[in-house]
Amino acid sequence: MNQAKPNLEITASRQFTSWLYEQKVSLVFTTYQAGKIFFIGLQPDGKLSVFERILDRCMGLCLDDNSLYVSTLYQLWRFENTLEKGQIYNNYDAIYLPQLSYVTGNLDIHDIRVAQNNKKPVFINTLFSCLATVSETHSFKPLWKPPFISKLAAEDRCHLNGLAMREGKPYSVTMVSQSDVADGWREHRINGGCVMDITNNEIIAEGLSMPHSPRWYQEKLWILNSGTGELGFIEKETGKFNPVTFCPGYLRGFSLYNDFAVVGISEPRHNKTFHGLPLDERLKEKKANPRCGLLIIDLRTGDIVHSLRIEGVVEELYDVEVLPQIRRPMAIGFKTDEIRRFVTTQT
């Protein structure tokens, strides 16, 4: 008889809390599969703090100063940290309060970033295969689409998913294929993925397996080659993907801080989307089972130095962000008395 999975079990590696303390950071991650956002920090006694809120199909995350953007089923939210530096509220030193929501409809928003010239959020509109921004009067305003996409249509043609910024501007994107038909990407999951420079519409790298989460950092373009379970970077001269670390799970969610990468790993779903990927064989070779959680990787060595394992109701993650100079964050929920009583004044 199979035992039922526990509701939620989060286990940190031995030095995970020490790493949070030494780096003076906390973490936030989303799981659209379970519809939750988690804030990971330290309690006053140094033990792990786990704070969660329910957000329907929450996916993309973006930290911009005190603002935290989160995409949900049909909205793009901006939460604002209302505490000043040094302020404490019930042993929390950051409180993210929902301040603004754009009702976008179900666009399947993936990565979100903030353009530094106008401070507006830009996001990957996966359903319409384009890069977009918010609109005061419509669901979205398209900014760019791949040159092979013949029209904007709610068909998820190439599974555009990741966005990298460079010098405060959108720079490159990841997609699972270069297909121009509805759901065409599903037939090219193994090696049809590519990275494109949106400033000149040129392909930076191709032959990838379901790439996600591109990030420009330390003069390199880093990506997660999710279908092979590898974190790596794209070589400038050749466009070749250079793997740095193999991770035992389906990679999604990527944040960089100092010399470390924080990446999310998920248990692959047992369906056609994840079945038959190179990751399956890699796991068999290493006699490993896929996991769900967060990995801290030292970019200088490629070693996985710390981890947070998640078991039970949460099996898949989407995005993760590092919250610098915050020890213990929380968020105000929509259905609590706190949201009625928590009033702030601009001075």
57-76 residue pLDDT tens: 999 999 999 999 999 999 99
pLDDT(174) > 60: yes
**Mean pLDDT across the chain:** 95
Q: Output the pLDDT for position 125.
A: 98
| The one-letter amino acid at 104 | T
Question: Hey, what are 303's tokens?
Answer: 């070693």
**What percentage of the chain exceeds 90 in pLDDT?**
91
| Chain mean position to CA 122 | 14
User: What 3-state class would DSSP assign to 281?
Assistant: helix
pLDDT confidence of residue 7: 87
In this prediction, residue 4 has a pLDDT band, given cuts at 50, 70 and 90, of low
Nearest to 149 by CA among 125, 181, 109, 124: 181
Q: Give the confidence band of 280 by pLDDT, cuts at 50, 70, 90.
A: very high
pLDDT of residue 6: 67
275 vs 161, higher pLDDT: 161
The confidence band for 331, taking pLDDT boundaries of 50, 70 and 90, is: very high
- Average pLDDT (214-240) is 97
Q: Which of 170-184, 200-214, 284-298, 328-342 has the lowest mean pLDDT?
A: 328-342
3-state secondary structure of 189: coil
Determine the average pLDDT of the residues in 201-213: 98
Structure tokens at 319: 């995005």
φ/ψ of 280, rounded to 5, equals -55, -50
pLDDT at 3 over 70: no
Pull the structure tokens for residue 245. Answer: 């670390």
Q: Can you tell me the distance from the alpha carbon of 247 to that of 228, in angstroms, rounded to the nearest whole number?
A: 9
Pick the range with the lowest mean pLDDT from 52-56, 268-272, 293-297.
268-272
Q: Which of 16-30, 137-151, 272-286 has the lowest mean pLDDT?
A: 272-286
Please state whether the predicted TM-score (pTM) of the whole model is above 0.75.
Answer: yes
State yes or no: pLDDT of 270 exceeds 80. Answer: no
Q: Check residue 267 and report its DSSP letter.
A: P
Separation CA 55–CA 331 (nearest Å): 11
Compare 295 and 337 and report the one with higher pLDDT: 295
Task: Please report the pLDDT score of residue 143 as a whole number.
Answer: 98
Burial class of residue 147, CB neighbours in 10 A (0-12, 13-18, 19+) = exposed
Main-chain phi, psi angles of 256, to 5 degrees: -120, 140
Burial status of residue 72 (CB atoms within 10 A of its CB: 0-12, 13-18, 19 or more): buried
Helix (H, G, I), strand (E, B) or coil at 186: helix
Residue 235 has pLDDT above 50, yes or no: yes
- CATH code of 8-332, in short, is 2.120.10.30
Question: Does residue 5 register a pLDDT over 60?
Answer: no
The pLDDT, as a whole number, for residue 341 is: 87
Is the Cα dihedral 291, 123, 334, 139 positive or negative?
negative
Report the distance separating Cα 47 and Cα 40, nearest Å. 11
Which residues have a Cβ under 8 Å from the Cβ of 3 and sit 6 or more positions away? none
Among residues 68, 85, 86, the alpha carbon closest in space to that of 77 is found at 68
Report residue 249 CA to chain centroid gap. 15
- What is the per-residue pLDDT for 337? 86
- Percentage of the residues of the chain whose pLDDT score is greater than 70: 97
Residue 21 has phi, psi (to 5 degrees) of -65, -45
Give me the pLDDT at residue 271, please: 61
pLDDT at 1: 43
**Radius of gyration for the chain, computed over Cα atoms and rounded to the nearest angstrom:** 19
Residue position matching structure tokens 């898949």: 316
- pLDDT mean over 157-164: 98
Residue 270: strand pairing partners: none
